[in-house]
Amino acid sequence: LAAAVSNAGGLGTLGCIGNTLDQVMQQVRSIRALTDRPFSLNFVVHFMEEDTFRAALAEQIPVFTFFRGDPAKVVPRARDAGAKTIYQITTVEEAEQACEVGVDVLIAQGNEAGGHMGPIPLLTLLPEVVAVAGSRPVLAAGGIVDGRGLAAALCLGASGVVMGTRFLATLESPASELHKQALLDAKPGDTVASPMWDILSGRDWPGGIKVRTIRNQLTARWAGREDELLNVVDEVCAQLEQARAKMDTDMILFLAGEGAGRIRDVVPAAQVVREVVTEAEQILRRVNGLVQ
């Protein structure tokens, strides 16, 4: 998927969280075999394995994307290794911290985003981040699935967009077929943000960050009642394991942003990139005509 996005003119990104050093290096070799274009490695900084990061720095990866954690611990090291640095932030304060240590590019991630996300809607966050970013490009993330989203983000001061959920529904995506079908079935408003994902997977994200997933019976039962869930985690995890074996999609958490409600097809990643750019160009030409 990362190589396909890079080949199409985007910046394909490989998430390293949950992967061993060997797995990351194997995937880096695969990406390099499939594309000569730049790509990035993503690290969630407070879960980063030092060995993996050190090996990645030695590999001369062209771009690093970071999320959460302390920018001072990673940005200078990546820059000294010759890489460009991108920091995904969810508040203006996080943006300021990343700018202080000289990050090259910011991603303003709005509350609509799939996976772990912050508290502020993109429409509010993005212009504020652009204001503190100075001459740095800011990319918009959260709920963007098409050219309308790209055009809107550019109007709000962004220099580009980051899309996660849209690329889950592509042919190259490693998401399961159940996950892809859940994205296609989702309607606007069919996602929910809750710390359930981390409670159930036993991963302790600092700061009580929430995770956006598709609504189902599991989220209806526990979202908003996470304190109670904490008392019965083992029991619920056992039930979920059985449900997963039966492929009961009402009991599986599928990561997705609010944009899932507008995804209608599973297509090659290059087609997504091409259509998003073409549609945004058409819209911007049309909008330009409004003021002539």
Ligand X SMILES: Cc1cc2nc3c(=O)[nH]c(=O)nc-3n(C[C@H](O)[C@H](O)[C@H](O)COP(=O)(O)O)c2cc1C
Question: Which positions lie near ligand X, rule CB under 6 A?
Answer: 15, 17, 42, 44, 67, 88, 109, 112-115, 141-144, 162-166, 168, 255, 257, 259
**Closer to ligand X by Cβ: residue 1 or 283:** 1
Task: Compute the least distance from the CB of residue 233 to ligand X, in Å.
Answer: 22
User: Rounded to whole angstroms, how far apart are CA atoms 64 and 61?
Assistant: 7
Token readout for 216 is: 């189902």
Task: Compute the least distance from the CB of residue 120 to ligand X, in Å.
Answer: 13
Q: Which residue is nearest to ligand X (CB)?
A: 164
Task: Compute the least distance from the CB of residue 24 to ligand X, in Å.
Answer: 12
Task: Compute the least distance from the CB of residue 22 to ligand X, in Å.
Answer: 18
Task: Compute the least distance from the CB of residue 149 to ligand X, in Å.
Answer: 9
What secondary structure letter does DSSP report for 260? G
Contacts from 155-163 at CB under 8 Å and sequence distance 24+?
A: 155/287, 156/122, 156/123, 156/126, 156/127, 156/130, 157/126, 157/127, 157/130, 158/108, 158/126, 158/130, 159/105, 161/276, 162/88, 162/107, 162/109, 163/259, 163/272, 163/276
**Closer to ligand X by Cβ: residue 190 or 239:** 190
Hunting for tokens 């029991």 — which residue is that? 235
**Closer to ligand X by Cβ: residue 12 or 143:** 143
Per the document, the length of the chain is 292
Of 65, 62, 60, 74, nearest to 37 (Cα)? 62
**Closer to ligand X by Cβ: residue 222 or 254:** 254
**Closer to ligand X by Cβ: residue 133 or 141:** 141
